[in-house]
Amino acid sequence: MIPTSYPTADEIARLTARMLLEIKAVHFNASEPFILASGLPSPTYIDCRKLISYPRIRSTLMDFLTVTVMRNAGFEAFDNIAGGETAGIPFGALVAERMALPMTYVRKKPKGYGRNARIEGVMTEGQRVLLVEDLTTDGGSKLSFVDAIRETGATCAHTAVIFYYGIFPDTMGKLGAHGITLHHLCTWWDVLAEARDAKAFDAATLSEVETFLRSPRAWQDARKPA
């Protein structure tokens, strides 16, 4: 069912951050940084996959994501909702259900047998596709998914995520140069503000996290594993 009313974007960001903190999807550790897939250290880590196990929060955030996309892109702007493998698949399905649209999903790479497909489900030439994922860091993974969608003859000019890092200045430019508009619910800055209000972490940890958020590359360069 398509939501018909919704809070402001600022309130959506605050509530989303609060929910992520409530289910402990947010992890801060400045003394023993997390190692990201890139091999670089970070004092922050977020696990949006946990959301699928919390029905009330899951439903609220999917309402938020649906209305955010409709408000920003249009109420009749899409013909197909595609989830990105793997974390984006459940969220893509939930958004498709709300928008009463067909759902597909996009593989990270061809499966290597059978049809060797990257698109699962029915996607046809000329369809306007919304790509849904759980989060984006610098936007890089979105480009491959969008290219796979466009290879079918469909168009894809929008991607929607629950969480956007919001700390790498070239992200929006990279996506924009590829003809993609990003829609998101909250960023690390929203989470940091809510974490401070809720006193969810000690002051020293929050201070170090802010240092990282203000200059992530410098923070990482200073702490690269030997």
CATH number, position 176: 3.40.50.2020
Residue with tokens 């009749």: 76
What's the pLDDT at 38? 72
CA dist 63 and 1 (Å) reads 9
pLDDT for residue 116 is more than 80? no
Averaged pLDDT for residues 195-211: 96
What's the pLDDT at 214? 96
Longest dimension (CA), the chain: 54
Question: Who wins on pLDDT, 224 or 80?
Answer: 80
| pLDDT > 90 in the chain, percent | 83
Q: For 66-101, write each residue's pLDDT tens digit.
A: 999 999 999 999 999 999 999 999 999 999 999 999
Residue at 206 is within a domain:
yes
Both tokens of 116, joined, read: 């060797």
Residue at 34 is within a domain:
yes
What's the pLDDT at 104? 98
pLDDT for residue 3 is more than 80? no
Residue at 4 is within a domain:
no
CA dist 161 and 219 (Å) reads 25
The kind and range of the H/E element at 17 are: helix 9-22
Name the E strands within 33-180: 34-35, 41-42, 44-46, 80-84, 103-106, 119-120, 128-136, 155-164
Quote the number of domains for the chain. Answer: 1
Q: How high is the mean pLDDT of the chain?
A: 93
Both tokens of 21, joined, read: 């903190």
Q: For 117-170, write each residue's pLDDT tens digit.
A: 899 999 999 999 999 999 998 888 899 999 999 999 999 999 999 999 999 999
Q: Which of the 8 DSSP states describes residue 50? A: G
pLDDT for residue 221 is more than 80? yes
Residue at 226 is within a domain:
no
Residue at 215 is within a domain:
yes
Residue at 2 is within a domain:
no
Label residue 6 by pLDDT band (50, 70, 90): confident
Residue at 172 is within a domain:
yes
Domain that holds residue 118: 9-221
Residue at 38 is within a domain:
yes
CA dist 109 and 134 (Å) reads 18
